[in-house]
Structures are given as structure tokens and as C-alpha cells.
Structure 1
Amino acid sequence: MAKKKNSNTGFEYVEPIGDRVLVRKDEPKRETRGGIALPDAAEIPTITGRIVTISAVVENDDELPLRQYDKILFHPKNAIPVDLEHDNQLFVIPVEDVVAVFRRDPPAE
């Protein structure tokens, strides 16, 4: 679970409910693969990130290959921002918006 120390109330936890995961999105790219620097005004949507935590529903579903710390590619349309950090990089993502999981090895057959 993502947590933040709050001086007044102790800790706050973010636990996704239902078919959702909590994702820390990757920083937007400031340079192309060829090394061309992009101006700050250029908006290139960042749609990759790391799963911070998963809901109990996702954790107990053997059909969903999502685990904590997986790097994923997701569709940002339904991403819900979580205002828990100053840089606001946390988002709750429905699992149907996760379109790919990055793996080092192919799945065993």
C-alpha cells in the first residue's frame, strides 16, 4: 500500500478497490531516441509506470498477470490521480486500461 506520514492523523494508506492497481507513472521523456532535445511545451503522454500496489481482487485472480513492482504500459484516459505526494505521480488505474506488462523472460509454457 502507498502511504504518507501525515503529522495530524498518522499514516494514510491508498489501497485500490476492485479491479484496479496503484501506479507510479514514469517521468516524461525530454529527449528522442536519436538524442534530439524536446522543448518543454511539447507534450508527449507518458503511459508507462510501475505498479506500487494491487487490490485484493487483482492479487487473488490467477488470470491477471499483474504483480507489485511490474512495469506496465497503460491507457491514461481513466487514470485517477492520487494527491498523496508533492510530485503527484501516483494514479489508480483500472486493470482493463493496462495494455501490456514488460517482462525480461517470456512466460513458461
Structure 2
Amino acid sequence: MTKKKTAASPFEYVEPIGDRVLVRKDEPKRETRGGIALPDAAEIPTITGRIVTISAVVENDEELPLRQYDKILFHPKNAIPVDLEHDNQLFVIPVEDIVAVFRREAPESPS
């Protein structure tokens, strides 16, 4: 009797270290706001995504308003791709490259 070997990924989880977060980048835009379809070579660079995981350092830093599943705007220059999925949309990003967090409501100001 022969055993079937299954090709399992050696890694199932990525935990960022230091002041970094793991982000799933949004799909690149293929259409302008006016509805004009763009060819693949003319993609608008996408620099938004959702935080998948935050490091323990970021989680414990009360000055950083970042939480898991936040939608963020980031500078892609220092984004490090994580080859864990076939579509390769995961990136480890330093928190200093996050320039904005999208919120549904403005935070309450202290009284």
C-alpha cells in the first residue's frame, strides 16, 4: 500500500516583527472614475489594503491607531511581498509607511 503525499505549505501564518503590519493589498484599478477601461499595461498603482495581522509591538503601542482589518493607505516603496498565496497580495509594511487609516466615523475628541 502506498501513501499519498500531499503538498502542504510549510507556512500557514505570518507574524510581522517590530513596527510592521501584514497587509492584503487591494486589487489594482482597471477603470477610471469616469468609467474608461484601461489596458493591463496602464494600471493605476494601488496603495490601499486591509491589515491582516499586526505585530505585538504595534498592538501594544497606544499611539498607533492601527487595528486588524483596518483599511489603510500606504507608501509601497518599502513593502515586502510575502509569497504565501498564489495571487501574492500579502505584504509586510513598516508602520512609518502607513499614511492614513480609513474610518467610518471620526474619533471622539477628549472633553
- Per the TM superposition, whether the score is higher than 0.5 is yes
**1:7 partner letter:** A
Q: Secondary structure at the match of 1:58?
A: helix
Separation in 2, partners of 1:32, 1:80: 27
Tell me if 1:77 matches 2:73.
no
Gaps of 5+ in 1: 1-5
Separation in 2, partners of 1:48, 1:14: 20
- Rg larger for: 2
Greater fraction strand:
1
Separation in 1, partners of 2:99, 2:38: 26
Following superposition of structure 1 onto structure 2, how do residues 57-76 of structure 1 map, counting pairs within 5 Å?
A: 57-76=57-76
Structure 1 residues 103 and 7: alpha-carbon distance in aligned structure 2, compared to 1, 3 A threshold: same
Q: Secondary structure at the match of 1:17?
A: coil
TM superposition score normalised by structure 2 = 0.88
Report how many residues are paired: 103
Deviation, structure 1 residue 40: 1.0
Percent identity, aligned pairs only, is 90
Deviation, structure 1 residue 83: 0.2
Tell me if 1:13 matches 2:13.
yes
Superposition CA RMSD, Å? 1.3
Deviation, structure 1 residue 41: 1.0
Separation in 1, partners of 2:9, 2:54: 27
